[in-house]
Amino acid sequence: MYLSKRESGKTRGIALTGLETGHIKDSECASFSFEHSGVCVAPEQSTRVFPCSVLLRSNRECTSFLLPNGGMKSNGACEFIDYGSGAVERVELPEFTSPPAQRPPSDTEGLGTFDVQSNVFGNLPVIPPSYVRRGKLEADLTARLRDRNHPIITLHGGGGMGKTSIP
């Protein structure tokens, strides 16, 4: 839904479900509590709304919707695009320039210095004791690395799958 305050102080709501927009009754809107005008999500049978207007922007008539399109600069300026019209807008989002909390240390972060590892120099971290060995996968990868017919090998998978840790 899109919620905003009227000049009278009453809440104005537009439902954004289905294929058509529609006004929300004043009696229903009065129960919603929000700080800033914009697109919000409210679970069914709840008066609590969750604002989405930082990353999903709309005009008051709900005829244009702007979504982040990348191009973020160090000062927080980024590009938003309306995929319906192709309109592009630069928006300042300084709240996204730094992480909300310190990142946890990585188990796969390289060591601070190079050292001899097997028969080459490297900075690979020590294999954690909790690492689950994948014998067939490791043997297949070793065979491919030694085969001159495969000059490029790509490992893919979601985060935490063990791509970096495969010995």
Q: What is the mean pLDDT of the chain?
A: 85
- pTM over the 0.75 mark: no
Domain assignments of the chain as residue spans, ordered by start: 1-63
pLDDT at 108 over 80: no
Does residue 117 surpass a pLDDT of 90? no
Gap between the Cα atoms of 68 and 38, Å rounded:
15
Residues 37-74: tens digit of each pLDDT = 889 888 887 778 888 888 899 988 888 899 998 888 88
What pLDDT shows up at residue 86? 92
Residue 138 has pLDDT above 70, yes or no: yes
**Cβ atoms within 10 Å, residue 49:** 19
Please name the residues in contact with 35: beta carbons below 8 A apart, sequence gap of 6 or more.
51
145-154: per-residue pLDDT in tens? 888 887 888 8
Decide if pLDDT at 81 tops 90: yes
Strand partners, 66: 57
Q: One-letter amino acid identity for 134?
A: R
Considering the chain, what percentage of its residues have pLDDT values greater than 70?
99
DSSP 95: G
